[in-house]
Amino acid sequence: MSTSLPRPKDKGSSSRVVPPFDLFFHMSYLASVITAGISRYALFEAASSLPYPSTRYFREVHRLVKGLKYDYAEAFRIVGERARDDNVRFMFLRLSSALASGEPMETFFWREAQIQGEAYGEEYERQIESLRKWTDAYSALLVSASLVVIIAFLTLMVYHLHEAILLPLMVLGPLAAFAGAWIIARVAPQEPITHHMGPGSLEQRLNALLARVLLPAAVVLAALLLLLRADVGWILLTTAACLVPMGAVQMWDERKIHLRDMDIGTFVRALGGMSRAMGTTLTEALNYLDNRSTGALAAEVRRLRAWLRSKLLPENCWHHFVQGSGSALVERTVRAFWDGVSRGGDPAEVGVRSSAYALKVALLRAKRRTVADTFSWLSFPLHLVIVGLLLFSLELVGSFSRAVSAMNLPEISQDQLSQLPAMPLPGVLGVQGGLDMGFLAGFMKLVTIALTIANAYAVYSAYGGHPFKLFYHGGIMLAMTGMAFLIVPRLMDLLFTTIMA
């Protein structure tokens, strides 16, 4: 009977390219499990049952060995030569050579785990540096594109621009923002933050409940306000009020996950060391582990200890421990640790090897959070200023147009226009000529909402993680846009009333 942890759902295994994050874990997993001294067949069978994108290559090897009776050296060579991912191909060819030469597999996998860790760390550092540069570039791109739109609007007070010229200039801002957000999403490290093992943490279960209530409520309330012809500002504020709670819960959950990720390596290393020193099982060693030393995992460890004392199956207890953490990194680290120890591996050695993986990933993610936090705090005030300026320019042109129309100026024919001096009254000529302010106002609403979505997606892409985090950034920016729609027109009316008085 296998004592491995239950397998979560396999996500994204159809991708051709294996994420370095998964390949790094696979090597760390094999380096941990092989300390148990199990056979090659049992080792690679365990590797072929993991629910990660890199598993399919090990599954092909296992199929060749089990079904066609190849030896492992030849099977790894065949699969490696056919692999489209360069990292997988080179690693499998090295593994084939090691198996053929008789090199000890424990030495090989530990060395490969360290090599993959270095390669993963270097690539992650490059991605973080690229992310830092592109977040800076995104801010500059957004400001520049928005200034083009604002200048185009203010030009209406001087010259009459045809819609064929004005509308493309207005679309430039959202297009530039979406392009920048897409680039940020591409250059940012791609990695899972939360696991897919059922209900998850308390916050994840709460969010699942909130989503069933608030998402339909947002759609229904927005549609109702739209039918009642409410101001777009109130529609955006109502939508934001429904989205922000889900996003806030998810942000809080991932902050706790970040702390658990930082402590999981220390926990398994300490527990493994105590188990070997005392010559006891993990269950017995856990009773002597000071709960204060487990940091952010204290509550989860306390529950794990209670479940183990209740004489439940240890693998089920560890499964619930992982499930309650909500973290993909905790899930992978505990899987490597438990599968290695439960198969007979040295607890201290398995703890060191699995914790090395956890510590490496957690420290790299902390660097990413630093870049994303800086970009996030910059994006919120920048978004508010840009939306405010866009609406200010719209209201300025509209108020100026209404003020000039109230003067009852006579129409000027082309013959009369040609006889005017070289410097006519520019504002008077610019606002006359069929300017449809209603159409421009509606189009500007679409532009600002599109900018809101693009800015929220850019910040979410910098952080990564669960999609519900998009509701947090998007909800706050929607609220800012909604308040701008409500406040800016009233300020402009007050300003022009004061001036005209």
Query: If you write DSSP's letter for every residue of 410-467 in order, what string do you get?
Result: PP--HHHHHHS-SS--HHHHHH-S---HHHHHHHHHHHHHHHHHHHHHHHHHHH-S-T
Mean residue pLDDT of the chain comes to: 86
Residue with more model confidence, 432 or 492? 492
Q: For residue 432, is pLDDT > 60? A: no
Q: Which residues contact 165 (CB under 8 A, 6 or more apart)?
A: none
How far apart CA 182 and CA 400 sit, in angstroms, is: 38
Across 141-147, average pLDDT: 88
Rounded to the nearest angstrom, the gap between the alpha carbon of residue 384 and the centroid of all alpha carbons in its chain is: 22
Residue 243 CB burial class (10 angstroms; 0-12, 13-18, ≥19): buried
28-47 pLDDT, tens per residue?
A: 999 999 999 899 999 999 99
Q: For residue 268, is pLDDT > 80? A: yes
Q: What is the pLDDT of residue 12?
A: 41
CA atoms in the 13 A half-sphere facing the CB of 365: 25
Instruction: Single out the residue of 14, 4, 56 nearest to residue 331, CA to CA.
Output: 4
Helices 232-278 and 328-342 pack at an angle, to 10 degrees, of 20
Q: For residue 433, is pLDDT > 50? A: no
Q: Are 186 and 163 in contact (CB under 8 A)?
A: no
Output phi, psi for 18, to 5 deg: -85, 125
> What is the percentage of the chain residues whose pLDDT exceeds 90?
57
For the chain, give the number of residues: 501
Across 271-286, average pLDDT: 92
Across 219-241, average pLDDT: 93
Instruction: Single out the residue of 31, 9, 10 nearest to residue 356, CA to CA.
Output: 31
How far apart CA 51 and CA 303 sit, in angstroms, is: 26
How far apart CA 348 and CA 270 sit, in angstroms, is: 8
326-360 pLDDT, tens per residue?
A: 999 999 999 999 999 999 999 999 999 999 999 99
Classify residue 200 as left (phi > 0), alpha (psi -120 to 50) or beta.
left
DSSP string of 246-299?
Answer: HHHHHHHHHHHHHHHHHHHHHHHHHHHHHHHHHT--HHHHHHTS-GGGGGGGHH
Q: What is the dihedral of CA 222, 231, 490, 162, to 10 degrees?
A: 110
What residue spans define the domains of the chain? Answer: 127-252+370-407+422-500
Q: Are 326 and 253 in contact (CB under 8 A)?
A: yes
The set of long-range contacts for 277-281, using a CB threshold of 8 Å and a minimum separation of 24, is: 277/348
> What is the percentage of the chain residues whose pLDDT exceeds 70?
87
Residue with more model confidence, 427 or 282? 282
Give the model's confidence band at 423: pLDDT under 50 very low, under 70 low, under 90 confident, else very high. very low
From 82-86, 161-165, 257-261, the region with the lowest mean pLDDT: 161-165
How far apart CA 340 and CA 346 sit, in angstroms, is: 8
Q: Quote helix, strand, coil % in the chain, to nearest 5.
A: 80, 0, 20
Q: What is the pLDDT of residue 436?
A: 65
Output phi, psi for 440, to 5 deg: -65, -40
Three-state secondary structure call for residue 194: strand
The neighbour count for residue 415, using CB atoms within 10 Å, is 7
Q: What is the pLDDT of residue 429?
A: 42
How far apart CA 279 and CA 299 sit, in angstroms, is: 26
Q: Are 463 and 184 in contact (CB under 8 A)?
A: no
Instruction: Please give the angle made by the CA atoms of 253, 257 and 262, to the nearest 5 degrees.
Output: 155
Locate 372 and state its tokens: 């994303």
Output phi, psi for 36, to 5 deg: -75, -10
Q: What is the pLDDT of residue 145?
A: 86
169-228 pLDDT, tens per residue?
A: 778 888 989 999 999 999 999 888 988 877 788 888 999 999 999 999 999 999 999 999
Residue 177 CB burial class (10 angstroms; 0-12, 13-18, ≥19): buried
Rounded to the nearest angstrom, the gap between the alpha carbon of residue 19 and the centroid of all alpha carbons in its chain is: 15
pTM, full prediction: 0.86
101-123 pLDDT, tens per residue?
A: 988 999 999 999 999 999 999 99
